[in-house]
């Protein structure tokens, strides 16, 4: 006989969709279970209006409980279009597929299902203290929402992190049905406001009004009561509403809170839905996540032999899904927080940017959903017919890149005495042949003491210059159309370490050389302490950079990038965490910028005027007290004022105790901000792995170029293969003549099987 995870008596705290559905599923799986749900509100109390569920979630519900699925199916309003209204122009994108119903009706369906199964529903009843429930029941499910008292009662175990965001929003409703999911932007004298609206029945729509906190206050909403707020919102968005009024239901302005917990269970207590995690409403995931939590919890309790194993399996299954959703939600809510940044975009590009804001909708799947809309955006972007955005050319000073793909600088640790050898020729040459518009060298060091490791390449001797010239000549001769760029840098306090695969950032066991830096701070415990650079040494360093730049120019490099990121020497001056100087080169950001700008000016003066110069920066240190987003914009503006043609926007690696927020294209928002606030071209980098991502970021206007590292290690012909997979054969991806026979995907054996001709009943 199964023990069903040991959960015979179950208490559920909270009668929202997640808690009710968990109760129904657990009772359906084992009718002998005793399940009690406590809900502090009355059965017909609900504070939202409409709920949107995805086809994926509905499919899971259909398999788990056909009765609930059938009841939902009978109620759903379905539609495909999204309308985006910006500066009086409406653009419609179709093919999206939404299903919604009223939140009150959803709760009624779940109430009916729970009662029919024998679940004990207790409304207008506070649950007993959680510790009492844990002692009296086998399993306690805490589904008591974003303000969960259960979570707070054991905060020392769950270790919740709560982040409040910068917008105020209010849930309202209108007594008519929008014919699409509608986003409308209002530019008022006080700032930007937005409306999110969607139908949830044949005669009603949810309407969410959102704006930045400072706009909300300047507009006077802080001083209005509920009725006055509703009336004001109706007037601001009268066009979207067709002059019809809005209504509320105890609707209060609030700020969204992102909740993350280190743990989701404690003994026989488990968190579910908003008690465990939240995701911004702009991607419609709150109810979806709660229902999916309930499905997973019920399945794990059915599959695992003990309660402990079931709760562990539940968290292991759900945590990665939730983390992915929260990353998408953060991207979406951040986009709306910074909406004013994009108001100057062409209206179609603005609409495309909004649709792809969370990175879950991309250029390719949007093209499948609505090819006409995407084609119109591409025409507005001036893509030649049949040309994906990534294969449009881009000009920097006197250099025109054939496409928007950059092979990101990658340290290979394979030089001998700073001399790049055959390995570098093959490594860089192969990627130039592979179709990228720009191939960047690894960080090339300006002195022997400026190397990270003994295997790092340099450009401080004639022999090194000869070897680099060989690589540049090969690129220009054998990969016509490909440009090759030189990244110059100095390791600073991160030098004299082992090769990456022998112990990254670990000091050499012997043969160390002395280090210099902005301030005498070791990179991490056990690292060598550098000497603080004197004025005379700063002059010497500047001359080392200019001497290397002169050699690079004679080698024929098409572009030069100054490495001011990742905690290396020039980056060490920029960050307040690594620059503790009290002279003219430390203190305020203006002073911390002084030496990097002096080096930039000196290099720009000797670098050929027609060739572009870029700068790589760390736009955040991912550490408290470090470089901020505002600092990054100021740093970019400063380099632009001194003649930088673009900024290569990376992040982190400045301090060892950083806490990056990794995820797909996770550094792109920093490039996006710099591009829109400074007008300077940017190179986005960081976990951009697919050609679909590149097309999406370029077409949305979030970056001008995309730099990819690991994808080019996996596939030196990444760009050519991206062209082939998209059916593109134009000048942005010209196959080398000897390779042209490989420009079509090779045939493979059949993987499909003949379909059955007849289905015979029994």
Q: Catalytic amino acids? A: 568
Answer yes or no: are the C-beta atoms of 214 and 225 closer than 8 Å: no
Answer yes or no: are the C-beta atoms of 95 and 370 closer than 8 Å: yes
Judged by DSSP in three states, 664 sits in coil
Q: What is the distance between the alpha carbons of residues 3 and 14, in angstroms, rounded to a whole number?
A: 25
Instruction: Extract the runs of DSSP E, i.e. beta strands, from 28-97.
Output: 34-39, 50-53, 77-79, 82-86, 89-93
Cβ-proximal residues to 353 (8 Å cutoff; 6+ apart), any chain: 335, 342, 345, 700, 701, 702
Q: What is the distance between the terminal CA atoms of the chain, rounded to a whole angstrom?
A: 32
Query: Can you spell out the DSSP letters for 729-748?
Result: -SGGGPPPGGGGGGSSPPP-
Burial, 658: exposed, middle or buried (Cβ in 10 Å; 0-12, 13-18, 19+)? middle
CA angle 660, 662, 665 (to 5 degrees): 125
Beta strands 139-142 and 9-13 are: parallel
Nearest alpha-carbon partner for 187 in 258, 244, 237: 237
**Does an H or E element contain 61, and which?**
helix 55-64
- Dihedral angle over CA of 237, 701, 97, 300, nearest 10: -110
CA angle 400, 471, 448 (to 5 degrees): 110
For residue 346, report the phi and psi dihedrals to the nearest 5 degrees.
Answer: -55, 145
Q: What is the distance between the alpha carbons of residues 363 and 354, in angstroms, rounded to a whole number?
A: 12
Nearest alpha-carbon partner for 550 in 486, 457, 470: 486
- Dihedral angle over CA of 692, 695, 696, 702, nearest 10: 140
User: Bridge partners of 186?
Assistant: 193
Nearest alpha-carbon partner for 373 in 88, 55, 723, 84: 84
Q: What is the distance between the alpha carbons of residues 403 and 438, in angstroms, rounded to a whole number?
A: 8
Q: What is the distance between the alpha carbons of residues 356 and 282, in angstroms, rounded to a whole number?
A: 12
Cβ-proximal residues to 174 (8 Å cutoff; 6+ apart), any chain: 197, 204, 205, 207, 241, 244, 245, 246, 247
Nearest alpha-carbon partner for 544 in 450, 466, 462: 450
Answer yes or no: are the C-beta atoms of 27 and 113 closer than 8 Å: no
Q: What is the distance between the alpha carbons of residues 569 and 671, in angstroms, rounded to a whole number?
A: 22
**Does an H or E element contain 199, and which?**
strand 191-201
Please say whether the dihedral angle defined by the alpha carbons of residues 443, 444, 449 and 454, taken in this order, is positive or negative.
positive
- Dihedral angle over CA of 158, 159, 165, 171, nearest 10: 20
For residue 158, report the phi and psi dihedrals to the nearest 5 degrees.
Answer: -75, -30
Q: Give the ranges where 486-628 is alpha helix by DSSP (H).
A: 500-503, 535-555, 569-574, 589-592, 594-606
Q: What is the distance between the alpha carbons of residues 183 and 186, in angstroms, rounded to a whole number?
A: 10
Can you say how many angstroms the Cα of residue 253 is from the centroid of all Cα atoms in its chain? 27
């Amino acid at each position: 006989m199964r023990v069903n995870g040991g959960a015979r008596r179950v208490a559920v705290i909270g009668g929202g969709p997640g808690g009710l559905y968990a109760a129904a599923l657990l009772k359906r799986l084992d009718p002998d279970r005793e399940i009690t749900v406590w809900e502090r509100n009355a059965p017909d109390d609900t504070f939202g209006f409409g709920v949107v569920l995805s086809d994926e979630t509905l499919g899971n519900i259909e398999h788990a409980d056909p009765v609930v699925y059938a009841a939902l199916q009978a109620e759903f309003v379905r539609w495909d279009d999204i309308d985006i209204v910006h500066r009086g122009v409406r653009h419609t994108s179709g093919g999206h597929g939404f299903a919604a119903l009223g939140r009150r009706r959803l709760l009624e369906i779940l109430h009916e299902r729970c009662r029919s199964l024998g679940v004990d529903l207790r409304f207008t009843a506070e649950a007993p203290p959680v510790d009492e429930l844990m002692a009296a029941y086998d399993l306690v499910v805490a589904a008591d929402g974003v303000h969960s008292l259960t979570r707070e009662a054991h905060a020392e175990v769950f270790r919740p992190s709560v982040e409040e965001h910068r917008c105020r929003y209010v849930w309202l409703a209108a007594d008519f049905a929008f014919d699409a999911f509608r986003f409308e932007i209002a530019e008022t004298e006080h700032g930007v406001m937005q409306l999110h609206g969607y139908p949830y029945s044949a005669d009603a729509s949810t309407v969410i009004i959102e704006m930045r906190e400072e706009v909300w206050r300047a507009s006077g909403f802080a001083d209005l009561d509920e009725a006055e707020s509703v009336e004001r919102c109706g007037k601001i968005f009268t066009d979207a509403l067709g002059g019809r009024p809005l209504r509320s239901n105890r609707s209060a302005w609030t700020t969204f809170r992102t909740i993350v917990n280190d743990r989701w269970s404690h003994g026989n207590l488990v968190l579910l839905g908003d008690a465990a995690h939240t995701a911004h409403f702009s991607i419609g995931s709150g109810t979806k996540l709660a229902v999916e939590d309930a499905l997973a919890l019920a399945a794990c309790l059915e599959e695992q032999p003990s309660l402990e194993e079931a709760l562990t399996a539940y968290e292991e299954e759900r945590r990665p899904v939730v983390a992915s959703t929260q990353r998408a939600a953060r991207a979406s809510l951040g986009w709306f927080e910074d909406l004013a940044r994009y108001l100057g975009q062409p209206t179609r590009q603005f609409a495309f940017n909004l649709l792809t804001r969370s990175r879950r909708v991309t250029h390719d799947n949007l093209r499948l959903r609505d090819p006409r809309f995407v084609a119109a955006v591409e025409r507005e972007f001036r893509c030649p017919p049949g040309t994906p955005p990534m294969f449009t050319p881009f000009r920097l000073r006197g250099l025109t890149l054939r496409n928007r793909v950059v092979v990101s600088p990658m340290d290979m640790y394979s030089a001998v005495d700073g001399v790049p050898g055959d390995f570098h020729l093959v490594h860089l040459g192969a990627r130039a042949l592979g179709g990228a518009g720009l191939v960047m060298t690894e960080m090339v060091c300006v002195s022997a003491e400026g190397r990270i490791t003994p295997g790092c390449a340099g450009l401080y001797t004639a022999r090194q210059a000869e070897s680099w010239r060989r690589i540049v000549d090969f690129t220009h001769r054998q990969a016509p159309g490909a440009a090759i760029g030189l990244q110059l840098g100095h390791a600073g306090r991160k030098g004299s370490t082992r090769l990456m695969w022998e112990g990254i950032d670990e000091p050499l066991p012997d043969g160390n050389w002395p280090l210099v830096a902005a301030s005498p701070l070791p990179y991490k415990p056990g690292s060598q302490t550098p000497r603080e650079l004197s004025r005379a040494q700063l002059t010497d360093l500047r001359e080392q950079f200019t001497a290397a730049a002169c050699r690079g120019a004679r080698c024929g490099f098409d572009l030069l990038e100054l490495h001011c990121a990742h905690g290396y020497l020039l980056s060490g001056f920029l960050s307040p965490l690594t620059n503790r100087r009290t002279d003219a080169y430390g203190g305020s950001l203006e002073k911390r910028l002084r030496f990097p700008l002096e080096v930039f000016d000196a290099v720009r003066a000797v670098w050929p005027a027609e060739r572009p110069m870029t700068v790589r920066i760390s736009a955040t240190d991912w550490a408290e007290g470090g470089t901020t987003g505002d600092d990054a914009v100021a740093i970019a503006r400063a380099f632009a004022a001194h003649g930088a043609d673009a900024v290569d926007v990376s992040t982190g690696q400045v301090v060892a105790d950083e806490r990056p927020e990794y995820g797909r294209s996770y550094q792109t928002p920093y490039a996006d901000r710099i591009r829109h606030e400074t007008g300077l071209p940017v190179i986005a980098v960081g976990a951009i792995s697919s050609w679909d991502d590149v097309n999406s970021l370029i077409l949305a206007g979030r970056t001008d170029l995309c730099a990819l590292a690991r994808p080019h290690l996996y596939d030196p012909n990444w760009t050519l293969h991206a062209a082939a997979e998209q059916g593109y054969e134009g000048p942005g991806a010209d196959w080398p003549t000897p390779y042209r026979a490989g420009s079509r995907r090779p045939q493979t054996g059949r993987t499909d099987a003949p379909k059955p001709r007849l289905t015979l009943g029994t």
